[in-house]
Amino acid sequence: MNATVTALPKPARRPKADKPAPSTPPVRSAAWKRKLTRQRYTSYGTAGVALVLMGLSLSHLAAGIGALTHSDPAHAWAMAVGIDLGFIALELGQLCTTTESLRKAIMTWAGPTIIGTLIVSACMNAYAFASVATGWPVIASACILGLSIPMLIYVLTRVSVALWVDATRS
Protein backbone atom coordinates (compact mmCIF):
# COMPACT_ATOMS: atom_id res chain seq x y z
CA MET A 1 0.00 0.00 0.00
CA ASN A 2 1.55 3.22 -1.10
CA ALA A 3 0.48 6.27 0.86
CA THR A 4 0.83 9.59 -0.75
CA VAL A 5 1.00 12.63 1.47
CA THR A 6 0.28 15.89 -0.18
CA ALA A 7 1.05 19.09 1.64
CA LEU A 8 -1.85 21.49 1.59
CA PRO A 9 -1.03 25.03 0.70
CA LYS A 10 -0.93 27.37 3.64
CA PRO A 11 -3.36 30.24 3.48
CA ALA A 12 -1.71 33.49 2.59
CA ARG A 13 -1.22 35.69 5.58
CA ARG A 14 -3.02 38.92 5.42
CA PRO A 15 -1.06 41.85 6.64
CA LYS A 16 -2.33 43.05 9.98
CA ALA A 17 -3.89 46.45 10.18
CA ASP A 18 -1.58 49.13 11.37
CA LYS A 19 -1.82 48.77 15.09
CA PRO A 20 0.00 51.20 17.25
CA ALA A 21 2.86 49.70 19.12
CA PRO A 22 1.80 48.70 22.60
CA SER A 23 2.65 51.55 24.87
CA THR A 24 4.22 50.95 28.19
CA PRO A 25 2.28 52.30 31.11
CA PRO A 26 3.68 55.55 32.40
CA VAL A 27 5.95 55.26 35.37
CA ARG A 28 4.25 56.98 38.27
CA SER A 29 6.11 58.61 41.08
CA ALA A 30 5.65 57.65 44.70
CA ALA A 31 3.88 60.98 45.29
CA TRP A 32 1.40 60.17 42.48
CA LYS A 33 0.72 56.74 43.99
CA ARG A 34 0.10 58.33 47.40
CA LYS A 35 -2.38 60.76 45.80
CA LEU A 36 -4.26 57.86 44.19
CA THR A 37 -4.33 56.00 47.49
CA ARG A 38 -5.74 59.08 49.23
CA GLN A 39 -8.31 59.40 46.46
CA ARG A 40 -9.37 55.76 46.84
CA TYR A 41 -9.70 56.12 50.62
CA THR A 42 -11.67 59.33 50.13
CA SER A 43 -14.04 57.42 47.84
CA TYR A 44 -14.46 54.74 50.52
CA GLY A 45 -15.19 57.36 53.18
CA THR A 46 -17.68 59.13 50.94
CA ALA A 47 -19.41 55.82 50.20
CA GLY A 48 -19.47 55.09 53.94
CA VAL A 49 -21.34 58.32 54.65
CA ALA A 50 -23.78 57.47 51.85
CA LEU A 51 -24.34 54.02 53.43
CA VAL A 52 -25.13 55.54 56.84
CA LEU A 53 -27.64 57.90 55.24
CA MET A 54 -29.01 54.96 53.26
CA GLY A 55 -29.70 53.11 56.50
CA LEU A 56 -31.58 56.13 57.85
CA SER A 57 -33.52 56.50 54.63
CA LEU A 58 -34.42 52.81 54.51
CA SER A 59 -35.75 53.01 58.05
CA HIS A 60 -37.85 56.08 57.20
CA LEU A 61 -39.14 54.54 53.99
CA ALA A 62 -40.11 51.29 55.67
CA ALA A 63 -41.92 53.15 58.45
CA GLY A 64 -43.71 55.41 55.96
CA ILE A 65 -44.69 52.56 53.65
CA GLY A 66 -45.96 50.54 56.60
CA ALA A 67 -48.01 53.49 57.86
CA LEU A 68 -49.50 54.24 54.44
CA THR A 69 -50.20 50.70 53.26
CA HIS A 70 -50.66 48.91 56.60
CA SER A 71 -48.39 46.19 55.24
CA ASP A 72 -46.32 43.93 57.43
CA PRO A 73 -42.74 45.08 58.18
CA ALA A 74 -41.11 42.59 55.77
CA HIS A 75 -43.08 43.94 52.82
CA ALA A 76 -42.48 47.54 53.86
CA TRP A 77 -38.74 46.93 54.12
CA ALA A 78 -38.67 45.11 50.78
CA MET A 79 -40.32 48.07 49.09
CA ALA A 80 -37.98 50.50 50.86
CA VAL A 81 -34.96 48.54 49.64
CA GLY A 82 -36.41 48.51 46.13
CA ILE A 83 -36.83 52.29 46.14
CA ASP A 84 -33.57 53.44 47.70
CA LEU A 85 -31.19 50.74 46.56
CA GLY A 86 -32.92 50.73 43.18
CA PHE A 87 -31.89 54.29 42.41
CA ILE A 88 -28.36 53.62 43.66
CA ALA A 89 -28.09 50.50 41.46
CA LEU A 90 -29.37 52.40 38.43
CA GLU A 91 -26.96 55.25 39.07
CA LEU A 92 -24.03 52.85 39.42
CA GLY A 93 -25.14 51.14 36.23
CA GLN A 94 -24.96 54.34 34.25
CA LEU A 95 -21.71 55.49 35.84
CA CYS A 96 -19.91 52.22 35.14
CA THR A 97 -20.84 51.72 31.48
CA THR A 98 -18.08 51.00 29.01
CA THR A 99 -19.50 52.79 25.98
CA GLU A 100 -21.47 55.92 25.32
CA SER A 101 -24.13 54.01 23.36
CA LEU A 102 -24.73 51.68 26.32
CA ARG A 103 -24.96 54.64 28.69
CA LYS A 104 -27.57 56.27 26.45
CA ALA A 105 -29.56 53.04 26.26
CA ILE A 106 -29.50 52.67 30.04
CA MET A 107 -30.42 56.31 30.60
CA THR A 108 -33.60 55.91 28.55
CA TRP A 109 -35.04 53.93 31.45
CA ALA A 110 -32.74 54.75 34.34
CA GLY A 111 -33.03 58.55 34.19
CA PRO A 112 -36.79 58.83 34.76
CA THR A 113 -36.72 55.97 37.27
CA ILE A 114 -33.96 57.61 39.32
CA ILE A 115 -35.90 60.88 39.41
CA GLY A 116 -39.11 59.10 40.44
CA THR A 117 -37.49 57.06 43.20
CA LEU A 118 -35.66 60.14 44.50
CA ILE A 119 -38.97 61.99 44.75
CA VAL A 120 -40.70 59.09 46.52
CA SER A 121 -37.76 58.65 48.88
CA ALA A 122 -37.64 62.37 49.64
CA CYS A 123 -41.38 62.50 50.35
CA MET A 124 -41.27 59.46 52.62
CA ASN A 125 -38.23 60.76 54.51
CA ALA A 126 -39.94 64.15 54.94
CA TYR A 127 -43.07 62.35 56.16
CA ALA A 128 -41.07 60.32 58.69
CA PHE A 129 -39.31 63.38 60.07
CA ALA A 130 -42.41 65.58 60.10
CA SER A 131 -44.75 62.96 61.61
CA VAL A 132 -43.21 63.42 65.06
CA ALA A 133 -42.63 67.17 64.80
CA THR A 134 -44.85 69.73 66.50
CA GLY A 135 -45.43 73.29 65.30
CA TRP A 136 -45.07 74.61 61.76
CA PRO A 137 -41.45 75.83 61.99
CA VAL A 138 -40.32 72.42 63.26
CA ILE A 139 -42.44 70.56 60.70
CA ALA A 140 -40.99 72.70 57.89
CA SER A 141 -37.45 72.04 59.14
CA ALA A 142 -38.18 68.32 59.42
CA CYS A 143 -39.47 68.27 55.84
CA ILE A 144 -36.34 70.02 54.58
CA LEU A 145 -34.18 67.46 56.39
CA GLY A 146 -36.23 64.62 54.96
CA LEU A 147 -36.01 66.00 51.45
CA SER A 148 -32.24 66.41 51.70
CA ILE A 149 -31.46 62.78 52.57
CA PRO A 150 -31.99 61.21 49.12
CA MET A 151 -30.23 64.14 47.47
CA LEU A 152 -27.21 63.62 49.73
CA ILE A 153 -27.19 59.88 49.06
CA TYR A 154 -27.33 60.54 45.31
CA VAL A 155 -24.53 63.12 45.30
CA LEU A 156 -22.32 61.13 47.68
CA THR A 157 -22.73 58.04 45.50
CA ARG A 158 -21.83 59.91 42.31
CA VAL A 159 -18.77 61.52 43.92
CA SER A 160 -17.61 58.27 45.50
CA VAL A 161 -17.86 56.31 42.27
CA ALA A 162 -16.19 59.06 40.24
CA LEU A 163 -13.27 59.20 42.69
CA TRP A 164 -12.89 55.42 42.72
CA VAL A 165 -13.16 54.97 38.94
CA ASP A 166 -10.63 57.74 38.32
CA ALA A 167 -8.21 56.27 40.86
CA THR A 168 -8.40 52.80 39.33
CA ARG A 169 -7.90 54.09 35.76
CA SER A 170 -4.79 56.10 36.60
Predicted confidence pLDDT, tens digits, the chain (170 residues): 566 767 777 777 766 666 666 677 777 888 999 999 999 999 999 999 999 999 999 999 999 899 889 999 999 999 999 999 998 999 888 888 889 999 899 999 999 999 999 999 999 999 888 888 888 999 999 899 999 999 999 999 999 999 998 998 87
- Chain centroid, CA 155 distance in Å: 10
Task: Give the SS3 label for residue 1.
Answer: coil
pTM for this model (two decimals): 0.76
Q: Residue ranges of the domains in the chain?
A: 31-169
d(C-alpha 54, C-alpha 52), whole Å: 5
Phi-psi region of 54 (alpha: psi -120 to 50; beta: other; left: phi over 0): alpha
CB 84 within 8 A of CB 59: no
CB 157 within 8 A of CB 50: yes
